[in-house]
Structure 1
Amino acid sequence: MREPFTPGAARFGIALGPLLYYWPRATVMQFYADIAESAVDRVYLGETVCTRRHELRHAHWLEIAQMLREAGKEVVLSTPVLIESDTDIACMRRVCEQEDYLVEANDVGAVRCMGGRPFIGGPHLNVYHADTLAWLASLGARGCVVPVEMDGATLAALSAGRCAGVALEVLAWGRMPLAFSARCFTARHHRLRKDACEFRCLDYPDGLVAATGEGQDFFTLNGIQTQSATCLDLCGQAQAMAHMGVDMLRVSPHSAGTLEVVAALAAIRAGERAPAPSGVVPAGAQPCNGYWHGRPGIAWEDRP
């Protein structure tokens, strides 16, 4: 159980989102062993991007889930985002039909598959206003992760207008997931077919950065997923979000910096340091917070 908050502390939980990249099994196991010793309260597990990735099967995720639960973490199993094959459907059903862990539903089909049982709505359900949140709550949602492009004013309105008992979670740090496609961009970069990709995602532990014709880093390619090249950093807005009533701040796993950001948020939560940007980004990336201020997401403003 989390220690009582000190005077001046911000009341929010720290969540670790699902691993979006394709890492070797040993790397994944060590990563979550480190997370078990961290200040993270909730951990999302499972393959949400590409069901062809096979370093970890469903049984392996369940082993990690049990280890984290024994370490005192709340564990949530995440469903795939883009459902387009029988394999994707089978993966989604395996997650939704188990009853040992809460589910993050990343697709409306997963919401239906839950059959009214409690779940958390993933960020790709695109909940922008209280009516949508209330509809999801009527289907069993006990929480929702808001879209990454939501600005601070809209978030405040959503928090104020939500129905009782529905928690809000916000991505506070990490490359922003922007879109999904039936095509695998990593395979295409290597002139390979999607179904013969040679699992090239393993070569890019934080995705493959793509630049504009002028040489500016603009997107990150992660298999069928497109992410921002910049790294969202809302650690400086952590207290503001807590005062709005946001319940959880999410950190997205990266090959470096994840534990440092978790520690920074824990210090802000405990009142040990003034809220400020974490100062941590993936190798070669720049920070961004434009969406929060109602500007293009790639922008950075050094203000709350």
Structure 2
Amino acid sequence: MPDTATATAPRAVSQHTAPPFGIALGPLLYYWPRERVLQFYAAAADAPVDRVYLGETVCTRRHELRHAQWLEIAQMLRDAGKEVVLSTPVLVENDTDIAWMRRACEQHGYLVEANDLGAVRCMGGRPFIAGPHLNVYHADTLAWLAGLGAAGCVVPVEMDGRTLAALAAARPGGVGVEAFAWGRMPLAFSARCFTARHHRLRKDSCEFRCMDYPDGLVAATGEGQAFFTLNGVQTQSATCLDLCGEALAMAAMGVDMLRVSPHSTGTLEVVQQLAAIRAGECAPAPSGITPAGAQPCNGYWHGGAGIAWEARA
């Protein structure tokens, strides 16, 4: 009879067979009709993504899907072989937000992405992923969060490549690092709903106008340049981050997961391109795909203005 410790020990994985990075599908940031959400995640179940984040992170007034329906999607994706993570709201300011946060944190079936420190406390030391809005910029912060249970972190979208490499090199053992690779960048949150204000409506009687904008409402400067995207209480970039060309460079730094943010078009095509890069079927290159005709950007990665695009050989 084989020794138990020997029989259950994990096998060593060759660096030549292990994928250089995982592909994560971030939480849906927009307000889509229920059927559209279900169709999107049914397609995602067949896509080469390794991890899928689910749940409402922007506005808990969005009620097309309740917690029970998110759990049904989670089970479907788990059955398809995906790792599922439940994301908590970013801006927690009332009892409804707290209830959404607690429902995610108090279940024990799935890992949680904690997007504010209240969620970290609610986890009570159980493993979680520190979301990008916890602002992990250096290893000391990550070590502190790891002491509270963080098994990984998603770095802020404005982190440049050099700082990311330093963070990945100095992180505590066993803590994963995930970086945003494609999509409109979530920049800020406010108690005021900008979409409602655009329509001269109050936040608590917004008529759910966010549903009219499946990729957010683009705001332009006085000179006509697309500058921000309004998404309810969230402000995003008008440009679309595209770091597909840096995928292998990030993997070499020690980044474990690359995040693709869901949009109404192009999302799963970008996933397929990253999978092809990972498999060595094509060279790393910008995806050339943007939602709703947005311009690409990569300025933060190079230490410049986030809105900029810098092409490099």
The correspondence for 1:118, drawn from 127, 133, 147, is 127
Task: Report the structure number with the largest CA radius of gyration.
Answer: 2
Tell me, in whole angstroms, the C-alpha distance in 2 between the residues paired with 1:212 and 1:220: 12
Name 2:218's counterpart in structure 1.
209
Name 1:180's counterpart in structure 2.
189
Cα contact 1:104–1:120 (8 A) shared by 2: yes
Give matches, 1:1-304, under 5 Å. Answer: 11-303=20-312
Tell me, in whole angstroms, the C-alpha distance in 1 between the residues paired with 2:17 and 2:63: 45
Give me the CA root mean square deviation: 1.3
- Aligned residue type for 2:297: C
Q: How far off its partner does 1:281 sit?
A: 0.2
Q: Give the alignment's TM-score, normalised by structure 2.
A: 0.94
Task: Classify the secondary structure of the residue corresponding to 1:110.
Answer: helix
Tell me, in whole angstroms, the C-alpha distance in 1 between the residues paired with 2:296 and 2:125: 39
- Aligned residue type for 1:37: D
Tell me, in whole angstroms, the C-alpha distance in 2 between the residues paired with 1:283 and 1:78: 25
Gaps of 5+ in 2: 1-12
Tell me, in whole angstroms, the C-alpha distance in 1 between the residues paired with 2:184 and 2:241: 6
Q: Count residues in correspondence.
A: 301
Cα contact 1:19–1:252 (8 A) shared by 2: yes
Gaps of 5+ in 1: none
- Aligned residue type for 1:66: Q
Q: How far off its partner does 1:207 sit?
A: 0.1
Q: Spell out structure 1 runs of 4+ moving beyond 6 A.
A: none
Cα contact 1:261–1:280 (8 A) shared by 2: yes
Q: Deviations over 1:100-140 (max 9, x none)?
A: 00000000000000000000000000000000000000000
Tell me, in whole angstroms, the C-alpha distance in 2 between the residues paired with 1:129 and 1:274: 30
Task: Classify the secondary structure of the residue corresponding to 1:226.
Answer: strand
Tell me, in whole angstroms, the C-alpha distance in 1 between the residues paired with 2:198 and 2:298: 29
Task: Classify the secondary structure of the residue corresponding to 1:292.
Answer: coil
- Aligned residue type for 1:273: C
Residues 140 and 7 of structure 1: is their aligned pair in 2 closer, same or farther, counting only changes over 3 Å? closer
- Aligned residue type for 1:209: V
Q: Deviations over 1:230-281 (max 9, x none)?
A: 0000000000000001000000000000010000000000011000000100
